[in-house]
Amino acid sequence: MGVIGRKEAFLRVFATVFLVLTACLVGFDTQTKILFYSVVRKATYRDLNALFVLVWIDSAAAAYNLLQLFRCYLWPVSKEDLTSNYKYLAWGFYLLDQAAVYIVFAANSAAVQASMFAVTGESSLQWMKLCNRFTRFCTQTGVALLCGYFASIFMAVISSISAYNLFRFYSPNQFLLLKGK
């Protein structure tokens, strides 16, 4: 496994850890409060559809990164593999990495946007603020969303490595080397 392959594997491990951390922090986060002296209210990730979708998307992205990590270790790219057949696989890996990054980032952004209603409320729709009552739940969800953005950053770097692995087939032999005078 080359230097780029080791870096890609290292980044995939970090992305997987942050994706699993995000899914677990959101998925297992609950808080129960007694409201109005008799009504028991339990806040979970299922109360907000964006958090529910985030858990499933981050879990799927973590599984995808694990599969790609096993591919990095079981089938490292050598000089002999750099044929036109590998070019098609490189296109597939590049497109899958791009799709994974965009979907994880979009799910995180949707969860942040939906969570802002829990923080600020919406008086015109008569939605009350929930984070002033469920502070631990909201804090843990906020930390999880931050972890999700870190995972998105790691996956974006992985996607750029995947782009490098693809587009080196279409470049001269000395790709990204500065020309001497």
Cβ-contact 58, 148 below 8 angstroms: yes
Residue 140 lies in a domain: yes
Residue whose C-alpha is closest to residue 103's, from 65, 137, 143: 65
Measured CA to CA in angstroms, residue 137 lies from 31, 55, 154, 167 at distances of 6, 15, 26, 45
Bridge partner list, 35: 39
Report the alpha-carbon distance of residue 143 to residue 147 in Å, rounded: 6
Determine the pLDDT at residue 150: 95
Residue 49 lies in a domain: yes
Instruction: Answer for the pair 20, 64: CB distance below 8 angstroms, yes or no.
Output: no
Whether 24 is in a domain gets the answer no
The residue range of the domain holding 82 is 3-17+29-170
Quick check: 27 and 19 in contact, CB under 8 A?
no
> 181 lies in a domain?
no
Instruction: Give pLDDT, residue 127.
Output: 57
**Buried-exposed string 105-129: b where 16+ CB fall within 10 A, e elsewhere:** bebbbbbbeebebbeebeeeeeeee
End-to-end, the C-alpha distance of the chain in Å comes to 33
Q: What is the pLDDT of residue 115?
A: 83
Q: Which residues of the chain have pLDDT under 70?
A: 1-3, 35, 75-85, 121-130, 171-181
The predicted structure's pLDDT at residue 123: 58
pLDDT at 124: 60
Q: Is residue 91 part of a domain?
A: yes
How many domains does the chain fold into? 1
What's residue 145's pLDDT? 92
